[in-house]
Amino acid sequence: MRFPRCGGILLHLTSLPSRHGIGDLGQSAYQFAEFLAASGQKLWQVLPLSPTGYGDSPYQCFSAFAGNPLFIDLGALLEQDLLAPLDLSSTPDFPDDYVDYGSVIEFKLAVLRRAAQRFLGDDWHPQRAEFEAFCRNNAAWLNDYALFMACKGVHRGAVWTNWEPAIRRREAAALKEWSTTLSHQIEVFKYWQFEFCRQWDNLKTHCHQRGIRIMGDIPIYVAHDSADVWAHPELFHLDEQGKPTVVAGVPPDYFSATGQLWGNPIYRWDVLANCGYRWWIDRFRASLHLFDIVRLDHFRGFEAYWEVPAGASTAAGGKWVKGPGAEFFHALQAGLGELPIVAENLGVITPEVEAIRKQFGFPGMSLLQFAFGNDPQGPSFRPHNYARELVAYTGGHDNDTTIGWWTSSGYGDSTRTAEDVRKEREFTRAYLGFENEAINWVFIRTVLASVADIAIIPLQDVLGLGSEARMNLPGTISGNWKWRYRPSILTNEIAERLGMMTTLYDR
């Protein structure tokens, strides 16, 4: 699918300012949309919106279909009289430049539970019929998700493989018994999904009215401790106890001597094929309701994926296994029509992977930070080699910020030596032809000026922030996904500067 020439900003919802400790769908989200419009941007890219589990990662979620209730704006619930000012009077003094997930979860879920109880206790609430229709229309995933989360609550968050055998195995009698016993808790989780979707739809409409589309993210894998795996164990390589027999990762490369061990269960693609890839079609349909464009994470895994034995300490001992290939995308097209997909084709990319991407017309991705080192794939990331059917980034959510990349030692998250870093910086200056200009604006100008149809800039680079604003460091399990911007830092001057460049380069 060909996209019109445009620019956009990558900013996850968690990074928005908010009085309640984490970015949400409230006033700051609308103010950010106004900043996008003022600076001439046409895309807002977000990370997965699902409810996070292990490590607070949006790539390790309790459901591939549900929305994160932490994104619900409490102010909107005040306006609906589902919360009273007294409910928010004890709001903690949350930090305004990072998310303290433990404190946010404890506070916000308690408040959201009060709102849900008031909504569910009012049979004549004006949104009651809309809520019931939402539950009917989404029953295919919502019922399993709400029961899964209610069961997790009773088991104090324990992984589903540690539940009682009957409910772990989803025996019919156990499902009926637990659904009856936990009926109120189940309705609470359903209400949160209803309110999340209502608030998200309002924000999306607001963006559309300003000519802004939303690019979302579909991770290739789902978390083992998720409603998806619990409800559909037949679709994954699991043993009799429900534990993975093989897990996902990527092999050793330029950035990691031992590879990356993600730990997600791997699909049984033969079973999915026999079912017409129905689960994946349903997943895409749900995502395309949320987003205008989807970034398909780890696209190369659909051609061949790195399979690691369960229990391995690193990804080094894995092997390549063929994926579903073009057949999978033919099935998606047959079920959904033209697919607005951006293929995340970073990493070890083969001609076979690129052949599938080109066959279906999915634009790939390029990160400017990767263009100047001694990575064998470096030349493909240099703007003189760009294709028009491309999404060009200064950096991504797994990278350091551009300022951090340029000013730090530079080799703490890769296999590069100090000498490699020195040569990389020399080549960067020579290639981009600059001396003292701020490196973030040099990078921004470069991707905006390129022939790539889409140019995306992480907000950290627009703001010129250093490593303290990094979103994620792959291979680490704590300290990630926390960064938030302070309200005062998003100025009219920055919007004007970005807007002038955007206009200059016809975006």
Domains identified in the chain, total number: 1
Q: What is the mean pLDDT of residues 69-88?
A: 97
Does residue 418 form part of some domain?
yes
Q: Give yes or no for residue 410 having a pLDDT over 70.
A: no
What's 333's DSSP letter? Answer: H
- What pLDDT score does 19 carry? 95
Q: What is the mean pLDDT of residues 234-253?
A: 95
- Continuous H helices in 39-100: 74-79
Higher pLDDT, 466 or 375: 466
Identity of the amino acid at 445: R
pLDDT category at 169 given cuts 50, 70, 90 is very high
Q: Helix, strand, coil shares of the chain as percentages rounded to 5? A: 45, 15, 40
- What pLDDT score does 294 carry? 98
Q: What is the mean pLDDT of residues 385-389?
A: 97
Does residue 399 form part of some domain?
yes
Mean pLDDT over the full length of the chain: 95
Six token digits for residue 134: 């939402």
Catalytic residue check, 398: yes
Catalytic residue among 24, 195, 344, 413: 344
- With 0-12 / 13-18 / 19 or more C-beta atoms within 10 angstroms meaning exposed / middle / buried, residue 55 is middle
Sheet of strand 341-343: strand arrangement:
341-343, 293-296, 213-218, 43-45, 6-10, 454-458, 390-393, 364-367
pTM assigned to the model: 0.96
Higher pLDDT, 2 or 16: 16
Pick the closest to residue 220 from 269, 182, 158 (CA basis).
Answer: 269
- What pLDDT score does 347 carry? 80
Does residue 116 form part of some domain?
no
Identity of the amino acid at 178: W
- What pLDDT score does 408 carry? 81
Higher pLDDT, 380 or 417: 380
Q: Give yes or no for residue 97 having a pLDDT over 60.
A: yes
Percentage of the chain with pLDDT > 70?
A: 98
Distance CA 203, CA 66 (A): 17
Q: Which of 36-50, 339-353, 396-410 has the lowest mean pLDDT?
A: 396-410
Angle (CA) 158 160 166, round 5°: 120
Q: What is the mean pLDDT of residues 359-369?
A: 97
Distance CA 398, CA 215 (A): 17
Does residue 406 form part of some domain?
yes
pLDDT category at 376 given cuts 50, 70, 90 is confident
Q: Are 58 and 471 in contact (CB under 8 A)?
A: no
pLDDT digits (tens, 9 = 90+) for 199-226: 999 999 999 999 999 999 999 999 999 9
Does residue 71 form part of some domain?
no
Range of the domain at 389: 372-461
Q: Give yes or no for residue 416 having a pLDDT over 80.
A: no
Catalytic residue check, 79: no
* DSSP result, 103-143: HHHHHHHHHHHHHHHHHHT-TT-TTHHHHHHHHHHTHHHHH
Q: Give yes or no for residue 255 having a pLDDT over 70.
A: no
Q: Which of 126-130, 180-184, 414-418, 497-501 has the lowest mean pLDDT?
A: 414-418
Distance CA 75, CA 95 (A): 19
- Continuous H helices in 236-325: 269-274, 278-290
Q: Give yes or no for residue 403 having a pLDDT over 60.
A: yes
Angle (CA) 397 402 405, round 5°: 95
Q: What is the mean pLDDT of residues 72-91?
A: 96
Q: What is the mean pLDDT of residues 264-287?
A: 98
pLDDT digits (tens, 9 = 90+) for 325-344: 999 999 999 999 999 999 99
Catalytic residue among 96, 97, 253, 297: 297
- What pLDDT score does 411 carry? 52
Q: Are 303 and 353 in contact (CB under 8 A)?
A: yes
Q: What is the mean pLDDT of residues 398-422?
A: 81
CA distances from 392 to 87, 344, 504 (A): 45, 11, 17
Six token digits for residue 20: 């309640």
Catalytic residue among 228, 398, 400, 424: 398
- What pLDDT score does 140 carry? 97
Q: Give yes or no for residue 413 having a pLDDT over 60.
A: no
- What pLDDT score does 474 carry? 85
Six token digits for residue 17: 């300012």
Residue 386 main-chain phi, psi, to 5 deg = -65, 145
Q: Which of 5-19, 39-53, 400-414, 427-441 has the lowest mean pLDDT?
A: 400-414
Distance CA 300, CA 306 (A): 10
Identity of the amino acid at 271: V
Does residue 394 form part of some domain?
yes
Q: Are 238 and 68 in contact (CB under 8 A)?
A: no
Distance CA 112, CA 194 (A): 12
pLDDT digits (tens, 9 = 90+) for 17-42: 999 999 999 999 999 999 999 999 99
Q: Are 324 and 339 in contact (CB under 8 A)?
A: no
- What pLDDT score does 417 carry? 80
Does residue 274 form part of some domain?
no
- What pLDDT score does 366 carry? 97
- What pLDDT score does 344 carry? 97
Distance CA 463, CA 185 (A): 42
Catalytic residue check, 344: yes
Does residue 279 form part of some domain?
no
pLDDT digits (tens, 9 = 90+) for 477-492: 889 999 999 989 999 9
Distance CA 397, CA 89 (A): 35
Q: Is 186 helix (H, G, I), strand (E, B) or coil?
A: helix
